Amino acid sequence: MTTLTHCHLRQGKRIAFIQANWHKKIVEQGRLSFQAQLLEAGIHPSLIDLLDVPGSLEIPLQCKLLAKTNQYQVIVAAGLIVDGGIYRHDFVASTVLDGMMQVSLQSKIPVLSMVLTPHHFNDQSHHEFFHDHFKIKGMEAANACIQMINNEHKMAEIYQVA
């Protein structure tokens, strides 16, 4: 997968990447491919702040706290919500994604999701599939990030908005 185009952050802005620690070895594959794809587009990893949270439920609050700093042009969050047999993972996923969307709409900062909820996952699963899937999702999230940054630049040119 190739990047959409070369990309530059607005002066003084950064990208935040929030990673949930449940199933970290799988989720971090997305982060690594995200960083690599952005580097190809001209955004150095030093411009990406990495934050760990215990689980996906903590992602929306972390997004909101980061958005309030006004330091970020885009916030990206990654997590893996699985059916642990104790709670309804689909409700957790919905809550997390709704919270992320609220932050995005209220702050006017794009909040991109790499929070995934597989249909079938257990500790005996072949984790290679999920490792590879998160690598793909990382590239897709990077391309979405690039597109949102470039859209913002284009809108600023068209409407001469800072």
Look up residue 143 and give its two tokens.
């391309």
Q: Quick one: pLDDT at residue 121?
A: 57
pLDDT tier for residue 154 given thresholds of 50, 70 and 90: confident
* CA distance readout (Å), 84 to 28, 31, 78, 119: 20, 24, 18, 12
Q: Which of 10, 14, 31, 88 is catalytic?
A: 88
Q: Where do the domains of the chain lie?
A: 14-159
The CATH code of the domain at 14-159 is: 3.40.50.960
CA nearest 115: which of 17, 47, 1, 9?
A: 17
Q: Is this structure's pTM higher than 0.75?
A: yes
Q: Quick one: pLDDT at residue 1?
A: 43
The predicted-structure confidence for 90-119, as pLDDT tens digits, reads as follows 667 778 888 999 999 999 999 999 887 665
Known catalytic residue at 88: yes
